[in-house]
Amino acid sequence: MSAQPRVVVLDYGFGNVRSAVRALERVGAQVELTADAKAAAEADGLVVPGVGAFAAVMKGLEAVRGPQIIGRRLAGGRAVLGICVGMQVMFETGVEHGVATPGLGEWPGVVDRLEAPIVPHMGWATVEPAPTSRLFRGIEDERFYFVHSYAARSFPLLEAGDAAFVPPAVTWADHGGPFVAAVENGPLSATQFHPEKSGDAGAQLLATWVESLR
């Protein structure tokens, strides 16, 4: 057995970081909670948590040079996992109360308010994984825990017409209409739901991600 994969959970003042740290430790990662750029660059995996408002999360990330840390890791093919708003900020733009905030721009698209009779979307829900998904292998029919009012309701990269383009594996869920529940795109993976709060299925997803870091 190789050494435990080293994972940094990026500490920028937002996110349910303690539960994420514990969940990652339970599935075999050596976890450090820090905003230190060197530690984040050298870790086998980087987790970007996030709760609350898109604009506030972006401000928190910028305060610890998060965009540069994340961008450099991805440019080098180094694994990053975004959770909840940590996924949303990977898109180009977030729109809250009519105000647009630039995101990290790793994917084209807009995160905006769900159009559903009840918002926020809170509780357990099934998902529709992409056939090419690795993270959901063996847990395709399980339920995951969501708590959010905003989401990406389309994924423009899937519409690329280039035959040489390998599309990301996009997993969908539904609340008043379809929305992006997870994305696997090279070194960048992300979930709108909280795997650390999703019981055995969430633990299995995190274990699969941690194992991929070896």
Catalytic residues: 84, 194, 196
In our burial notation (b when 16+ CB lie closer than 10 A, e otherwise), range 135-169 reads: bbeebeebbbbbebebbbbebeeeeeeeeeeeebb
Residue 147 and residue 122 in contact, taking contact as beta carbons nearer than 8 Å: yes
Distances (CA, A) of 185 to 14, 49, 77: 24, 18, 11
Coil, strand or helix at 142: coil
DSSP states of 106-126 as a string?
Answer: SEEEEEEE--SSSSSEEEEEE
Angle between helices 199-211 and 17-26 (to 10 degrees): 70
